[in-house]
Amino acid sequence: MSDVLRLKKSNCKNCYKCIRHCPVKSIRFSANQAHIVGEECILCGQCFVVCPQNAKQIADGTEIVRVLLDGTAPVVASLAPSFAAYFDHIGFASLKAALVQLGFASAEETAIGATLVKREYEKQMREQSMDVIISSCCHSVNLLIRKYYPELIKYLSPVVSPMIAHSQDIKRRMPEAKTVFIGPCLSKKDEAENSPVDAVLTFDELSRMFAAANITPEPVLDSAEESRARLFPTVGGILKTMDIPDTGYTCLTVDGTENCKAALADIAAGNLHKCFLEMSACSGSCIGGPVMEKYNNSPVRHYQAVTTFAGKQDFAVSEPEAGALVRRHTYIGMPSAMPSEAEIAEILAKTGKMCKEDELNCGSCGYNTCREKAIAVYHGKADISMCLPFLMDKAERFSNNILSHTPNGILVVNEDLEVQQVNAAAMKMLHIARESDVLGEPLVRVIDPLPFLNALEGRAVKEQRAYYAEFSKYLELSLVHDKTTHILIAILRDVTAEEEERLKKEEIGRQTVEIADRVVEKQMRIVQEIASLLGETTAETKIALTKLKESINSEEAR
């Protein structure tokens, strides 16, 4: 498998959208990054289309084409018929002129190859050599069958695609020529390997090459010779081009990978016989291809553009040599061992799924069921942590444990000052009997809202202590205003014991000062009496006692 789809790691945001839309779950997650599993990928391009961060990129073919154009060999463009949908109001002659201006020797319609292919389908139906015939034009469908339905490979028409058939035809007429296919499909880049096709461009890449060279195709709808093979890129387009022989085959059209998988399951179960199935992996067929869907999605207008350009006759093409269009399809899948029921149960248990009822099958991880995701974990393609309900439950239990066991009271209110959450510690502090009594109620029914109003106005409220008479408590309040979630988080701490101890110490200090004052006064009288008898000054004694008083007051202040 070539490296057609690539990941731009810096853009991948671990959203799982690609795995949700991948029909074969060929994406592996590691280190919170999506990685495309090439051996399993069918190159339908859905991950490229839906990625919101443009982390999936198509391998650029413009440099290869520039090298070919700079060479000596003539380069001929094979233009897919869906060009009529992508290039609005621009005919083939106008695009051919622009391609020649870009450096191509010439340009032809891939519908020439489609004419050759549809004749092979008609031949197979006339010969009735196959019970079920599945069209082989869509490379993604071919990969789907060759990788995931090996028992159905025998029903895959052994015919090359129109791209290869046309390239063979060009080189039969111009042996020295190089061919470049231009279309809406990224899987053709893979199909072109080991084929007569020298390079593949998407319509988007061609548009960028035109822009870089300052080339603007003239908005002119030409009247080229009509060909019903131009209907190939539309739903049922292959059948509309065929002269279906009356040999008893039921002709059916299936578009979209999920519908193709359902049809293939029916064939595998033996429910379908004697039928021709036109299969396309893209919903709406090629005009709904990944490049069209990503950059230029307008299915009704595109269908009208293609059918208007098509006709009712066939291109006048010469038949190739016998066997030239034959292509044998082989199994290229990678069989993987399935985990046992015990191993699946063990993996499910790691995300809290202990019984069938625990399996929500919500699809948030990208897999349809919890069981599918467990199997992906076993194969190393998914991680245990990809389960959103499990992560939410884990986060909720973690936060609830913190709220339940912290000694601090937690009170959460919205910006309308309505109570949103309260923990057990806060309920005890605020004398709340039941949580339901206050949830959704105005904050004023619970506690003084003034500090909360100050916090909303941007004034800091941090470790603010006050006595709340209604609770007979001293509480320390800190407020956090989360402007992103529009909530206020109040952290309450019961500091009653601390405040009572502080007040007790203050009272003891006050009493000590009073005693010191009385002692000083008494001592002063005694000193004065002694001094009068001894004739000595009382200054030193007064200074000493005054210092003692100041020392006591200073100690109390600390």
Q: Would you mind telling me the total number of residues written for the chain in this entry?
A: 558
Do 490 and 448 contact (CB within 8 A), yes or no? no
pLDDT band at 548; cut points 50, 70, 90: low
pLDDT of the residue at 252? 95
Do 46 and 22 contact (CB within 8 A), yes or no? yes
Answering whether pTM is above 0.95, one says no
Map tokens 């007040």 to a residue: 503
pLDDT of the residue at 192? 95
pLDDT of the residue at 418? 94
**β-pair type (178-183, 75-79):** parallel
Position 537 pLDDT exceeds 60? no
pLDDT of the residue at 326? 94
CA dist., res. 555 & res. 166, Å (int): 102
Position 141 pLDDT exceeds 90? yes
Give me the mean pLDDT over the 65-78 stretch.
Answer: 97
pLDDT tens digits, one per residue of 142-200: 999 999 999 999 999 999 999 999 999 999 999 999 999 999 999 999 999 999 999 99
CA dist., res. 245 & res. 229, Å (int): 17
Position 1 pLDDT exceeds 60? no
Output DSSP code: residue 522: H
% pLDDT > 70, the chain: 95
Our measurement of the distance from residue 1's CA atom to the centroid of its chain's CA atoms, rounded to an integer in Å, reads 24
Most confident of 338-347, 379-388, 507-516: 338-347
CA dist., res. 284 & res. 452, Å (int): 58
Q: 60-309: which CATH topology?
A: Rossmann fold (3.40.50)
- Range with lowest mean pLDDT among 136-145, 162-171, 462-471: 462-471
Give me the mean pLDDT over the 115-125 stretch.
Answer: 95
Q: How confident is the prediction for the chain on average, in pLDDT?
A: 89
Give me the mean pLDDT over the 262-276 stretch.
Answer: 96
Domain boundaries, the chain: 1-59, 60-309, 341-394, 406-494, 498-557
pLDDT band at 457; cut points 50, 70, 90: very high
**β-pair type (275-280, 132-134):** parallel
CA dist., res. 446 & res. 431, Å (int): 9
Q: 406-494: which CATH topology?
A: Beta-Lactamase (3.30.450)
pLDDT of the residue at 295? 77
Burial class (CB in 10 A: 0-12, 13-18, 19+), 71: exposed
pLDDT band at 322; cut points 50, 70, 90: confident
pLDDT of the residue at 486? 92
Position 32 pLDDT exceeds 80? no
Position 391 pLDDT exceeds 60? yes
Architecture of domain 341-394: Orthogonal Bundle (1.10)
pLDDT of the residue at 100? 97
Domain 1-59 grouped into CATH 3.30.70.20: yes
